[in-house]
Chain A
Amino acid sequence: MMHELFATPMGALFTIFGVMSLIGALAMVFSKNAVHSVIGFLFTMLSIAACYLCMEAEFLAMAQVLVYAGGIVVLFLFVVMLVELSKRKDGRANDRGAMAVVLPLVALLAAAFGAVFGGICFARGADQALNLPPDLAQGMDVAGHNAQAISRGLFAGYLLPFEILSVILLVALVGAVVLAKTERV
């Protein structure tokens, strides 16, 4: 399997960045300091963006960096700063009792997944092409002209979800303002 992972240069890079994202995720989850968790989160987001690049989804990689690493992480940092600095650190960060229960469960989940999909994913002949219905960007080179392909698909084929998403963003905007409002205003 190692051989396969590093078969192509893109694959090798993908593997490296994948591991980095895992490290970041673990740091996020098991860190005692909230700021450290945010940093881990940022690391993970960037690593995943790099993974996207390795998978020839450039637009999405850029979008990931912009939205997550740029907007969301900053938001998280703001709120963490707001909340954590005025609070003393007491108690444990993790709930030991919950960990005793959850870890085995997650391990079970992983084992189950491995058992179910191991044969499927890593068997011979799993590299066959998926036969998906053709979409509007058919014919275009998704990897080569990624942005154009995505724009063709998004604004022509999936226009309605796009518009709904815009409404959702509006609602979220208004909701955030309302929820975070202070009483004295």
Chain B
Amino acid sequence: MIHGPLHGSLLWLIAFLPVFGALINGATGRRARNTKLVDALALGSVGIAFALSLFYFIVLMRQPSEGRVIIQELWTWVDFGGAHVLDGLTHNTVSWAYRFDPLSGAMALLVTGVGFLIHLFSTGYMAEEREDGRYYRFMAYLNLFVFSMLNLVLGANLLMMFLGWEGVGLCSYLLIGFYFEKDFAATAGKKAFITNRIGDFGFLVGFFLLFQIYGSADFSTLMGMTREVLARPEITLFGLSHAPTWWFNLAGCCLFVGACGKSAQIPLYVWLPDAMAGPTPVSALIHAATMVTSGLYMIARLNFVYVNAPVALSVVLFVGALTALVAASMGLAQYDIKKVLAYSTVSQLGFMFMGMGAGAFTAGMFHVFTHAFFKAALFLGSGSVILACHHEQDMRNLGGLKDKLPWTFRSMLVATLAIAGIFPFSGFFSKDEILWKVFDGWYRHGELGGSQLALLAWIMGMVAAFMTAFYMTRLMIMTFWGEYRGHGHDPHGLRALALPDEHGHHESHHHEPHEVPWNMWVPVAILGGLALVAGFLNIPHSLHWIGSSRFSEWLSPLLFQVGAPEAHEAVPAMEYVLMVWATLVWAPGAMLLAWWIYGMDPSWSKARAFVARFPNLFRWVHNKYFVDEFYEASVIQPTLRVGEGLWVVDGKVVDGAVNGAAWLSLFWGRVSFWFDSKIVDGLVNLIAWLIEQLSWAFRRLQSGRVHQYAFVMFLGFLVFALWKFLV
């Protein structure tokens, strides 16, 4: 643990500046007459955070590669006072600390940088909200999200990561349901949160396992202790005794369940398409660039667990590949521009998990970065399109926009080429590296004999890559080529009925779409530019004459090394073959196919004929294989039934018990009353009666007759006299 030589004490500001912005905006923003103030605060906080991250990044770059860690401990957060772990009691405490090392530093740059661009975009996109008085809320939530995400990536221990994990889930809910008066937005927010929650359960179980095994949550400790843990022959926890690898597999799978929830893999991806109900900047920031990459960051951070957990890695690989394929197929039949991009995100996340599952952590992380750039560019660009066409999201009602929105068009075109994997755009370098590593899991540099699963995954990945290029081209053609169909000028009858859209209805008959203001197309252009050039940060070894794999080298000290690092100088020919095939044949082929179907014939007759021939197939794919309906019927309805059953139990049993207790009290009251009136009062009356009877006896003494008195006197005298004289 090395503290930075200079200004290590400002590390906390990177995370806390956005939250200060959120608090101030949230508390005072409603009253601010001038929403420019809100802008300045929100943009300023994220901007300064980006500057600080850049500063620390530069500081880090100057250090030697083993010493690239800056840690700042702020305070002791949790002190268990002695928790039972594997070796007995541990007195480790969990502190609120930030850790700036190559991985977290790069992620911090990504989060703050892309976050800043998206904040800038939002100042234009959310312009209508300025009058509605909800603007400040949006900015506050965005800042809060950046704070949570920075906690996640900069956290120095698992608990800090989990804090950020939960925080981004919360902010996702808040932002998806931003237009909370719309039912489906609120429902989508709830769906996102609940699905995330299910994943978080897995994350927690994995966290607890790791804490039990290591006795600490701190990453430095975890990384340092791993070799020693692996050296044990057996680990006994909860009465079960297994090899360390078994426990790592278990922890890895549990943590991957959390990643499935957060990063939208099968089976917990269902929230991401619905999350498009939120404003487009939200979709760009959270569901393309940052939040959904949390799962990948977690796997990269805990690579020392996954490298020693082959079963977990296989699970990750398979689920990632399956997700990539299935989501890409869903994207083929969607008409909402944002839904296509959503499924594209799910599919690309599947790619990233494929990379992780194949053991190529740096490749997966690199794809995170490049995907952030081009996906954010695509989302923001689509946001520009939507705004320019007055909140029209159905692609069938768009078209011919490439001359009307030139800058947006160009940026999105670059991003599409990147995502398709055309050389030399960034997507080529990252995605093809992943696919090569997966293939090599089976190919083994020509030796063959690797796992069959890797081959299957590679095949699924290739098919998904083909589909990706196809639907992205389809999107671009539908949106930007042809004639604009928004005026009602629809010669081929391609328009769709206007669905009740989520943002009010502006009359779209009179306005011609035009380019959006500078604070909206500039961020898209910047991101498009980054999507163009970012690939050169990580040239694979096979193309080493172009450049070096700087990104991989940057991250490699953090990776757990199993055995001696491979020093293959000989690059197998297969790698070049596949690379050329992918970028010159496979992806362009898909794009040409899309062009042939949609671009050449403005009436899309071939597409329509296909749909007419296979109506059921289209129905299944267009309705996303009815997965949501399946979940609804199998999971949600039974849960609701159980809830209703418990409601009945509460009404009958609990309320019955309460009413019974009330009845019992009343009954007891009546018994007491009876007791009091009959027995207690009876006792009192008895005494009175006794005295009355006695008094009757004494009354007779008072007869009023003198001679009786005299007689009594005489008796008294007699007694007295006799007693005196005889006793």
A116 touches B711 (CB 8 A): no
- Interface residues contributed by chain B, number (CB under 8 Å): 8
**Interface 0/1 of A79-110, CB less than 8 Å to B:** 00000000000000001001001100100110
Given known contacts A98-B707, A98-B711, A102-B711, A109 and B725 CB-to-CB distance under 8 angstroms: no
* Chain B, range 671-725, C-beta contacts under 8 Å to A: 707, 711, 714-715, 718, 722, 725
User: Is residue B498 contacting chain A, with contact meaning CB distance below 8 A?
Assistant: no
Q: Which residues of B contact A170 (CB under 8 A)?
A: none
Cα separation A105 to B715 with both chains bound (whole Å):
9
Given known contacts A98-B707, A98-B711, A105 and B718 CB-to-CB distance under 8 angstroms: yes
Cα separation A98 to B711 with both chains bound (whole Å):
9
Chain A binding surface, main DSSP class: helix
Cα separation A95 to B726 with both chains bound (whole Å):
31
B711 touches A109 (CB 8 A): no
CB distance from A63 to the nearest CB of B (A): 28
Q: Which residues of B contact A98 (CB under 8 A)?
A: 707, 711
- Interface residues contributed by chain A, number (CB under 8 Å): 9
Residue in B closest to A95 when the chains form the complex, CB atoms: B707
Point out the residue from B707, B714, B718, B725 that lies within 8 Å of A116, measured CB to CB.
B725
Q: Which residues of B contact A102 (CB under 8 A)?
A: 711
Total contacts A-B at CB 8 Å: 15
Q: Which residues of B contact A109 (CB under 8 A)?
A: 718
User: Is residue A140 contacting chain B, with contact meaning CB distance below 8 A?
Assistant: no
**Interface 0/1 of A113-137, CB less than 8 Å to B:** 0001000000000000000000000
User: Is residue A159 contacting chain B, with contact meaning CB distance below 8 A?
Assistant: no
**Interface 0/1 of B584-613, CB less than 8 Å to A:** 000000000000000000000000000000
B707 touches A112 (CB 8 A): no
Q: Which residues of B contact A95 (CB under 8 A)?
A: 707
Q: Which residues of A contact B726 (CB under 8 A)?
A: 112, 116
Cα separation A105 to B718 with both chains bound (whole Å):
9
Q: Which residues of A contact B707 (CB under 8 A)?
A: 95, 98
Cα separation A101 to B726 with both chains bound (whole Å):
23
**Interface 0/1 of A28-45, CB less than 8 Å to B:** 000000000000000000
Cα separation A118 to B434 with both chains bound (whole Å):
148
Cα separation A108 to B717 with both chains bound (whole Å):
13
Cα separation A89 to B502 with both chains bound (whole Å):
127
Q: Which residues of B contact A101 (CB under 8 A)?
A: 711
CB distance from A81 to the nearest CB of B (A): 23
Q: Which residues of B contact A112 (CB under 8 A)?
A: 722, 725-726
Cα separation A102 to B711 with both chains bound (whole Å):
8
Cα separation A161 to B703 with both chains bound (whole Å):
37
Q: Which residues of B contact A108 (CB under 8 A)?
A: 718
Cα separation A98 to B705 with both chains bound (whole Å):
13
* Chain A, range 69-85, C-beta contacts under 8 Å to B: none
Cα separation A98 to B708 with both chains bound (whole Å):
9
CB distance from A94 to the nearest CB of B (A): 11
CB distance from A70 to the nearest CB of B (A): 28
CB distance from B507 to the nearest CB of A (A): 123
Residue in A closest to B718 when the chains form the complex, CB atoms: A109
Residue in A closest to B722 when the chains form the complex, CB atoms: A112
Q: Which residues of A contact B715 (CB under 8 A)?
A: 105
Cα separation A102 to B710 with both chains bound (whole Å):
11
CB distance from A64 to the nearest CB of B (A): 26
Cα separation A95 to B711 with both chains bound (whole Å):
13
Q: Which residues of A contact B711 (CB under 8 A)?
A: 98, 101-102
Cα separation A116 to B722 with both chains bound (whole Å):
10
CB distance from A37 to the nearest CB of B (A): 16
Cα separation A109 to B726 with both chains bound (whole Å):
13
Cα separation A108 to B726 with both chains bound (whole Å):
14
Residue in A closest to B725 when the chains form the complex, CB atoms: A116
Cα separation A88 to B711 with both chains bound (whole Å):
27
CB distance from B452 to the nearest CB of A (A): 133
Cα separation A108 to B714 with both chains bound (whole Å):
13
Residue in A closest to B708 when the chains form the complex, CB atoms: A98
Cα separation A105 to B711 with both chains bound (whole Å):
11
Cα separation A105 to B721 with both chains bound (whole Å):
13
Cα separation A106 to B726 with both chains bound (whole Å):
17
CB distance from B18 to the nearest CB of A (A): 117
Cα separation A102 to B707 with both chains bound (whole Å):
12
What are 14 A-B contacts defined by CB distance under 8 Å?
A95-B707, A98-B707, A98-B711, A101-B711, A102-B711, A105-B714, A105-B715, A105-B718, A108-B718, A109-B718, A112-B722, A112-B726, A116-B725, A116-B726
5 smallest beta-carbon distances between A and B, as pairs: A116-B725, A112-B722, A109-B718, A105-B718, A98-B707
Other 12 A-B pairs with CB < 8 A, given A95-B707, A101-B711, A112-B726: A98-B707, A98-B711, A102-B711, A105-B714, A105-B715, A105-B718, A108-B718, A109-B718, A112-B722, A112-B725, A116-B725, A116-B726
